[in-house]
Amino acid sequence: MGGQGAAGELFAVRWLPAGEGGPAVRLLDQTVLPSRAVTLDCASVERLAEAIASLRVRGAPALGVAGAYGVVLGALAGTGAEVAAATLTAQRPTAVNLGWACRRTLAAGPSAGDMLAEARRIEEENRAACAAMGRHGAALIAGRRRGRASLLTHCNTGMLACQGIGTAFGVARTLWEDGGLATLWVDETRPLLQGSRLTAFEAAALGMPHAVVCDGAAAGLMARERIDAVVVGADRIAANGDTANKVGTCALAVLAAHFGVPFYVVAPTSTIDAGCPTGDDVEIEQRDPDEVRLALGSVRLAPADSPAHNPAFDVTPARLVTAIVTEHGVAEPPYTASLARLAPAS
């Protein structure tokens, strides 16, 4: 079944009401993109938990929406909303939006109807936040250079990750729609290739100028091509601005500092974890070593008995981050003060 709507708009998550074959959480299965667009209806919390763990739905803001609807599913399907929230949150420990949205939906209960209304609000807030981040980020980049800008990005931070136009990708898209994007360089993003499989798919669907590069090409690009900024998303931002994002992000930040390229993190304020003082306090999700040893589960890339290490994320120190773009505006160093202003602890 197709997952692509009009004008290249994609979805990550949808609530399927009882009258339309639900209650269920409908996902576009991201593990088979870009070869196939397959939708998956999760009618149980267990099925949704598997889908989250295996990255059929992924990206911090989209995980929040999936988790919120999953809590409603738990309330309706007999699992119980509290068990659903705990089960779903445990699947991706670094992505703060998942636990945040589950807790928020749970707090709107005990009625499933009230929880569904809250989950829908979270989804709508995501869309609005993406649009606002796009505007703030595009203005920031356009304000720094005359002519069209070339950006480098990592992983997938677009519609598939956000259920909105995206975070970093949304900035690139807004800039492009304003006539200000020369090209978006897309890191393939080892080991699961969210850049080449998903970001390039989104850019191609929209007709945005882009080119996929191997992760190892970033240094050469910064040295020899004009890169105006690196733009990335975040899975959790500590109170001091240290940023956890897809593994490989920290290497880009180090390169950007070396080559004098601005490094922007783009994330909604729901990704800021005021309860997490520094990046050292962020739990980094460790995934199956076979994601490294095998290419997408099939072609062998390393001997089966070679040990492999597979952290899903790394932490970029705040001192390497030029600015953090949120829906409420742009935070600049020192982040402890600027983030607290944009996202006061509740």
Which spans of this chain sit near ligand MRU (rule: CB under 6 A)?
55, 58-61, 155, 157, 161-162, 167, 194, 233-235, 245-246, 312
| Residue number, 47 or 236, with CB nearest to ligand MRU | 236
The angle that helices 60-77 and 81-89 make with each other, rounded to 10 degrees, is 150
- Kindly state the smallest distance separating residue 110's Cβ from ligand MRU, in Å: 30
The residues with which 149 forms a beta bridge, in sequence order, are 181
Distance CA(314)–CA(253), nearest Å, equals 11
Distance CA(272)–CA(148), nearest Å, equals 30
Interior CA angle at 38 toward 35 and 40, to 5°? 145
Residue 144 backbone zone (phi > 0: left; psi -120 to 50: alpha; other: beta)? alpha
The set of catalytic residues is 235
| Residue number, 210 or 246, with CB nearest to ligand MRU | 246
Residue 23 exposed, middle or buried by CB count within 10 Å (0-12, 13-18, 19+) = buried
Residues 6+ apart with CB under 8 A from 344: 274
- Kindly state the smallest distance separating residue 154's Cβ from ligand MRU, in Å: 7
| Residue number, 112 or 165, with CB nearest to ligand MRU | 165
Give 149-186 as a DSSP string: EEEEE-S--SHHHHSSS-SHHHHHHHHHHTT-EEEEEE
The radius of gyration of the chain from alpha carbons, rounded to an integer in Å, stands at 19
- Kindly state the smallest distance separating residue 53's Cβ from ligand MRU, in Å: 11
| Residue number, 47 or 92, with CB nearest to ligand MRU | 92
Q: How many other CB atoms sit within 10 Å of the CB of residue 297?
A: 10
HSE, side-chain direction, 13 A CA sphere, residue 276: 22
- Kindly state the smallest distance separating residue 169's Cβ from ligand MRU, in Å: 8
Shortest Cβ contact with ligand MRU: which residue?
Answer: 233
Q: Which residue is listed with tokens 């970029």?
A: 316
- Kindly state the smallest distance separating residue 219's Cβ from ligand MRU, in Å: 20
| Residue number, 245 or 338, with CB nearest to ligand MRU | 245
- Kindly state the smallest distance separating residue 81's Cβ from ligand MRU, in Å: 24
| Residue number, 58 or 104, with CB nearest to ligand MRU | 58
Distance CA(17)–CA(14), nearest Å, equals 9
